[in-house]
Structure 1
Amino acid sequence: MPRTSPLSPNQRLRALLDDAGCTYDALAREINMRGAMRRPPLRLSYNRSAVAHWLSGTKPRSQVAVLLVEALSRRLGRDVTLVEAGLAPSPPEQDADVASRNQIAGPDCTPCREQHLPSFTPWLRSEGQPWERSGAPDPGARRVGAAELATAESAVLFFGRQARFAGTESMGAALSFLLDDVDSWLRASATARTHASLLTATSQLCFLVARMWIGAGEAKEAQQYFHLALDVAGEAGDTLTYALVLRALSSQSFRQGHPGQAEWLASAALDCLPATAEPARRAYLLAQSAVTKAAAGDRRATLRDLCGADRQRARAGDGDGPFTSYAETALAYQRGEAMAALGDVDLALRAYDRSLRLREPEQHWAIALTHTRLAELSCSIPDVERAVLHAREAVRKFPHLYPKVVGMLQRRLWRALAPYRSTAAVQACFEGFVANTTVETIGHHCTYP
């Protein structure tokens, strides 16, 4: 790292950290995660020692400096420049009162303007901006204990079931619970163990809200809540929940067409997973790792991870908790994804078919997605008749899905079937697409492979 000469403490950066109420560990974790989400990803492994070095005057390299001010911008709810953070020299005529001139210049002067998350307000907003905690625990506040923790943990189970079968219909209730109850509990006096457990429950609730946003087709909002879940899990020191969120982010990256980033996140999730983790959780992580290894063309690693996921899933048995179980139907879907990435179409088709057979009828989102994957693969053989059959089954689920999800699935089916549009069956299927673009959604039942 380049050093200032002579080396002197970075008081500007220290002041920003104090204002943000951010620990060294939390800042380092967020920088690592923001690096991982870059395209191409930056594989960073900073810790509190690195932050201490920066405060002492050591300057991070330019890419990392940008990530640092992005993290501070999100936490402070405003734009922070490299100059304000003491990571770039001020022009001679602007040495004094940098912050006020930043306000005069306007936010467009910030080099990371388009990169950091928007500033958040601590109440539910229609545009989907995340809930944010109001502040650090207040030792003078009322004391919370076992009763509040039990309520929070029960809420995780309740909203986990809602996220599986009722999708985003319960999102408002989940966010209200975070704002009206959880936020005040986190600022109340509590034992260290109770406070950490409340943080874990909070992280899990944010995770579930992110999954609800996926069901609505809102990837940006989902990403924001996954990052919030990651941050809170890190503050709790809960490496298990932290690993589960990393796995979810890997799945998001894979769906959005970033396989390299997805592989790195899946690997990081397994690295974070405690040795004492329950089999269902290990199966959940291994299944995603297999998909990313398959996308990289590593057949041996793919089969190793799939076998490991099968073994762990068999040991886990059947449960219904959102963070303590992993459904066989979800593992079958992941096997289909892995086999498809390896080019084993027949094995992929069989895995997707098995996933469908195990689905409950109310799992509309997952059923529609799986039929779409089957249609795409059938076109690649090509088996147009089978592709049309699955496309029609997917379309039948459209009235139960959000418009953005419907549009995404329609586009995928359209691309897959377009080479065969001269056939009567495909033409009829296309007419079904058009008809369903005007259908108002009547329900929002979603679940996730």
Structure 2
Amino acid sequence: MTDRKGHNERLRALLAEAEWTSAALARAVNIAGAEVGLGLSYDRTSVSHWLSGTQPRRRIPQLVAEAFSRRLGRAITPSAAGFTAPDTETAGADPGAPRDADAVHQLTALVCSDTDPLHRVSLQRSPYEVELPLAPWQPVKPSAAGPTDRTPGIRGTRTSRVGKTEVATVRGAVESFASGLDRHGGGHARSALCAYLADDVVPWLHHSANTQAGRQLRKESAHLVFVLARQYEDCGMQGLAQRYFAGAMRLANEAEDRVTWAMALRALSSQAATLNHRRIALNHGEGALASLPPEAPPAVRSFVTAQLAVVRAMTNDQSGALAALADAERATDQADSEPSPFTAYPRAALEFQRAQTLRSLGDIGGASKALTASLAHRSPDDRRGHALTCAVRVHLLLRAGHVEEAGANWLAFNRAGTGLQSARVNRAGRSLQRAFLPYRSQPTVKALLNTSGSLS
């Protein structure tokens, strides 16, 4: 630790606003650290040192800021908490890439660090950034010149010409990895996708120019980066997921693809909502809808407006939430479902978002009904979605006092979730165990508790 002069009055003021004791802040920081793979054991004494002016070690100021951001529902930076910058890296800048680098060079630096054993662990522990700079919607034409032999970070075999074959190959990879995420969880084949981006896709991108094929390659590559971001998000690596979502947005700009850009911003809204950054989630959700072009497919409009309904409900905008939900419903009815992760929005997903919206608005009965509909529409291959839907339904049933039915849904959760490589599903399983503890005297619940350790 490095001592600083004077007391940290900013941190003291945030503690008072959050109505936290020093011990409560320490617990919140430990939890945030565990989410990015750091085994922390701070206590009230540690916080006392921070209050007296001691600067925590690297990464901790960002975790303190993240803990306060979740508690207070607004963006708190390390400096707002009275700390100096936690890292020398610029927030949101990928390792090894200049701040003004184009999308492909930014992606090159990121995936090469991600596949480098010397940097991977540190990168995967990157905390979520409440003020991550995002590329605004502004189509940027990629450079027509390919890289030289000295271009850093490019792996794989040099390709002299990129065309329809490479575009089709990346499109197929998008469908394969997206399907694997639903079937096996975000930890499945994640390293393989990183390596594929580094060894194949990045070299193709560097050798593609501002042609129709080049722009199409950037679009499909943005989709692939989006899938990788979802994998990291499902694994609980929120900071790295956020960087990849931002990378997908930059590629969409170079592809002149406003639809994919909006979808990535929508995903950032969902991530922020999950972390309880409500204002950020709302801003991203509104921005995603505002940026959709008139010709956007109905399924994409449903995807965006359903998320907007969720965050509007979280911010107590009942009329706005219900209006967005109705818009999503109409768009789904108009959609021509195609078997592709970026052209179809399943009814099961819409019903899940409906349940989240109604739950936030206090309509527990409506939320439970929507979850039942979501389960009915789930594809058998979507094991991850099935497990997470069951988990939410269990909590609602327990809240309504339907313990037996909740137990049956817990069994369904275990069947769907067993073997999934998903930190999110694992967390849901531990949450269900805690939720059933008050009912452990009941024989059925006792038996479930004794056999539910496989997902914990």
Q: CA offset at residue 436 of structure 1?
A: 4.8
Are 1:147 and 2:165 an aligned pair?
yes
Given that residues 265 and 287 in structure 2 are in contact (C-alpha distance below 8 angstroms), is that contact kept between their aligned partners in structure 1? yes
User: Which of 163, 186, 191 is the aligned partner of 2:205?
Assistant: 186
Residue number in structure 2 paired with 1:246: 265
Q: CA offset at residue 230 of structure 1?
A: 2.3
| Residues 387, 76 of structure 1: alpha-carbon distance in 2 compared, 3 angstrom cutoff | closer
Q: CA offset at residue 275 of structure 1?
A: 1.7
What secondary structure sits across from 1:397 in the alignment? Answer: helix
In 2: Cα distance, 1:79 partner to 1:190 partner: 21
Question: Taking structure 2 as the reference length, what is the TM-score of the superposition?
Answer: 0.66
Residue number in structure 2 paired with 1:391: 410
Residue number in structure 2 paired with 1:419: 438
User: Which of 223, 244, 249 is the aligned partner of 2:242?
Assistant: 223
Given that residues 182 and 384 in structure 2 are in contact (C-alpha distance below 8 angstroms), is that contact kept between their aligned partners in structure 1? no
Are 1:233 and 2:252 an aligned pair?
yes
| Residues 352, 178 of structure 1: alpha-carbon distance in 2 compared, 3 angstrom cutoff | same
Q: CA offset at residue 229 of structure 1?
A: 1.6
User: Which of 170, 179, 182 is the aligned partner of 1:161?
Assistant: 179
Q: Which range moved further: 135-144 or 405-414?
A: 135-144
In 1: Cα distance, 2:375 partner to 2:308 partner: 22
- 2:378 aligned partner, one-letter code: R
- 1:156 aligned partner, one-letter code: V
- 2:115 aligned partner, one-letter code: L
Residue number in structure 2 paired with 1:340: 359
Percent identity reads 30
In 2: Cα distance, 1:145 partner to 1:328 partner: 35
In 2: Cα distance, 1:72 partner to 1:254 partner: 20
| Residues 186, 415 of structure 1: alpha-carbon distance in 2 compared, 3 angstrom cutoff | same
User: Which of 313, 317, 321 is the aligned partner of 1:298?
Assistant: 317
Residue number in structure 2 paired with 1:102: none
What secondary structure sits across from 1:400 in the alignment? Answer: coil
Residue number in structure 2 paired with 1:124: 115
In 2: Cα distance, 1:289 partner to 1:165 partner: 26
Q: CA offset at residue 66 of structure 1?
A: 7.5
Question: Taking structure 1 as the reference length, what is the TM-score of the superposition?
Answer: 0.67
Q: Deviations over 1:17-38 (max 9, x none)?
A: xxxxxxxxxxxxxxxxxx9x97
- 1:195 aligned partner, one-letter code: G
| Residues 76, 337 of structure 1: alpha-carbon distance in 2 compared, 3 angstrom cutoff | closer
Given that residues 123 and 179 in structure 1 are in contact (C-alpha distance below 8 angstroms), is that contact kept between their aligned partners in structure 2? no
Q: Which range moved further: 337-346 or 171-180?
A: 171-180
- 1:145 aligned partner, one-letter code: G
Residue number in structure 2 paired with 1:92: none
Residue number in structure 2 paired with 1:312: 331
Question: Structure 1, unaligned stretches of length 5 or more?
Answer: 1-34, 44-60, 81-117, 438-449
* Matched ranges for 1:14-413 at <5 A: 41=74, 71=90, 74-75=93-94, 77=96, 121-122=112-113, 124-125=115-116, 127=120, 129=123, 138-139=145-146, 142-167=160-185, 168-402=187-421, 404-413=423-432
Given that residues 140 and 189 in structure 1 are in contact (C-alpha distance below 8 angstroms), is that contact kept between their aligned partners in structure 2? no
Q: Deviations over 1:118-162 (max 9, x none)?
A: 9763562464758xxxx9764476343333333333333333333
Given that residues 115 and 194 in structure 2 are in contact (C-alpha distance below 8 angstroms), is that contact kept between their aligned partners in structure 1? yes
Question: How many residues in Structure 1 have an aligned counterpart in Structure 2?
Answer: 344
- 1:121 aligned partner, one-letter code: C
Q: Deviations over 1:391-418 (max 9, x none)?
A: 2221223322226344301232133223
Given that residues 214 and 222 in structure 1 are in contact (C-alpha distance below 8 angstroms), is that contact kept between their aligned partners in structure 2? yes
| Residues 42, 405 of structure 1: alpha-carbon distance in 2 compared, 3 angstrom cutoff | closer
| Residues 242, 70 of structure 1: alpha-carbon distance in 2 compared, 3 angstrom cutoff | farther
Q: CA offset at residue 384 of structure 1?
A: 1.7
Q: Which range moved further: 276-285 or 184-193?
A: 184-193
Given that residues 340 and 348 in structure 1 are in contact (C-alpha distance below 8 angstroms), is that contact kept between their aligned partners in structure 2? yes
Residue number in structure 2 paired with 1:99: none
- 1:268 aligned partner, one-letter code: G
Q: CA RMSD in A?
A: 3.6
Given that residues 188 and 421 in structure 2 are in contact (C-alpha distance below 8 angstroms), is that contact kept between their aligned partners in structure 1? no
In 2: Cα distance, 1:184 partner to 1:402 partner: 29
Q: CA offset at residue 306 of structure 1?
A: 1.1
Q: CA offset at residue 236 of structure 1?
A: 3.4
- 1:150 aligned partner, one-letter code: A
Given that residues 74 and 278 in structure 2 are in contact (C-alpha distance below 8 angstroms), is that contact kept between their aligned partners in structure 1? no
In 2: Cα distance, 1:286 partner to 1:68 partner: 36
